[in-house]
């Protein structure tokens, strides 16, 4: 699958910035102290939906408007942030959106999606089951199905990595959480378009190891999901296209436990007073696990989402990991 070139990413940036400003990136002293290196933290928790996914939704719907001017509505599946992205962008495009979520999904993410005007339907007990039902529902009603991984999503998400690389072009390594793959493939696209040598390390939940297993075996492998905290990483089956790009361009995959994710959430709050959901803290969790290798390096991290339920965050701050 070809990656978007620099001109395509510049076009994506114009679409994104029509709806939101660039997000900041800072070197927080307490994070640098904890990691023993210069660490740049990209604040994708500062987008209008509190997560990086919005950028991809904006570029996706811009392309959809031109490809399918007669589109009657869209359907997708999510654990939360992708659904908010679809809802936000669909509302701007004046298209109805139906979003499928698994039973037991985050209450506050569900409320945020409903507030954006989506029709929310609960189905199944994990993301994969919700995704399969959403695809069936869309086909049955001749509606457009928005996948969780698509190159039009990747183009938009890559704009945040372009921003980080512009601020810190000499990063030695970046740590990127992996859910359905748009975030890490966007990092690949930005690095390749800019001709940088930055190493890319993917971070997955040890309780959702399908990407780690697939990366190691170089083929799609399904694996059970048991994470109680990193719902944005709760993927049971990797996307084959995303995996192919990861195998070509990613140097390493790190697995982090729920306990390590919870510790990273606490550190982010103590060091920066920003709230991170589980997946949003995974980048830091991966770096903390590898900190012995980072001394003296220049490291890029992403706080890619802040949408954690209040009761769960309170338990995490009190020392729990779920």
Residue 256 structure tokens: 């982090």
pTM here is 0.95
* Cα–Cα distance measured from residue 93 to residue 77, given in angstroms and rounded to the nearest whole number: 19
Regarding the domain delimited by 6-52+151-317, which CATH topology (the fold level of the hierarchy) does it fall under? Rossmann fold (3.40.50)
Residues 123-135 have pLDDT tens digits of 999 989 999 999 9
Cα dihedral across residues 310, 101, 214, 51: positive or negative:
negative
pLDDT of residue 84: 97
Residues 226-265 have pLDDT tens digits of 999 999 999 999 999 999 999 999 999 999 999 999 999 9
DSSP class of 128? H
Same CATH fold, 53-146 and 6-52+151-317?
Answer: yes
CATH class of 53-146: alpha beta
> Per-residue pLDDT averaged across 112-118, rounded?
97
Domain boundaries, the chain: 6-52+151-317, 53-146
Q: Given its phi and psi angles, is residue 245 left (phi above 0), alpha (psi -120 to 50 degrees) or beta?
A: alpha
**pLDDT at 1 exceeding the cut of 90:** no
pLDDT of residue 321: 74
């Amino acid at each position: 699958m070809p990656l978007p070139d620099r001109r395509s990413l510049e076009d994506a940036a114009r679409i994104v910035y029509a709806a939101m400003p660039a997000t900041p990136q800072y070197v927080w002293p307490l994070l640098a102290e904890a990691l023993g290196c210069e660490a740049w933290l990209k604040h994708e928790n500062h987008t209008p939906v509190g997560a990086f996914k919005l950028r991809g939704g904006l570029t996706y719907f811009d392309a959809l408007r031109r490809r399918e001017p007669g589109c009657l509505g869209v359907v997708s599946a999510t654990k939360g942030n992708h659904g908010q992205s679809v809802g936000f962008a669909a509302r701007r495009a004046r298209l109805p959106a139906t979003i499928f979520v698994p039973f037991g999904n985050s209450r506050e993410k569900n409320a945020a999606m409903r507030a954006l005007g989506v029709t929310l339907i609960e189905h199944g007990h994990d993301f994969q089951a919700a995704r399969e039902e959403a695809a069936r529902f869309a086909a049955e009603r001749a509606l457009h199905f928005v996948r969780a991984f698509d190159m039009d999503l990747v183009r938009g998400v890559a704009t945040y990595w372009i921003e980080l690389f512009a601020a810190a072009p000499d990063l030695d390594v970046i740590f990127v959480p992996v859910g359905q793959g748009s975030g890490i493939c966007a990092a690949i696209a930005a690095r390749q378009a800019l001709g940088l040598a930055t190493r890319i390390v993917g971070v997955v939940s040890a309780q959702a190891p399908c990407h780690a297993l697939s990366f190691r075996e170089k083929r799609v492998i399904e694996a059970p999901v048991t994470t109680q905290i990193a719902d944005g990483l709760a993927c049971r089956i990797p996307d084959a296209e995303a995996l192919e790009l990861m195998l070509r361009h990613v140097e390493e995959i790190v697995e982090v436990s729920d306990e390590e994710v919870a510790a990273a959430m606490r550190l982010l709050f103590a060091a920066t007073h920003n709230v991170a959901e589980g997946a949003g803290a995974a980048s830091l969790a991966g770096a903390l696990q590898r900190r012995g290798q980072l001394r003296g390096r220049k490291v890029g991290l992403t706080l890619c989402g802040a949408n954690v339920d209040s009761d769960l965050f309170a338990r995490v701050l009190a020392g729990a990991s779920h």
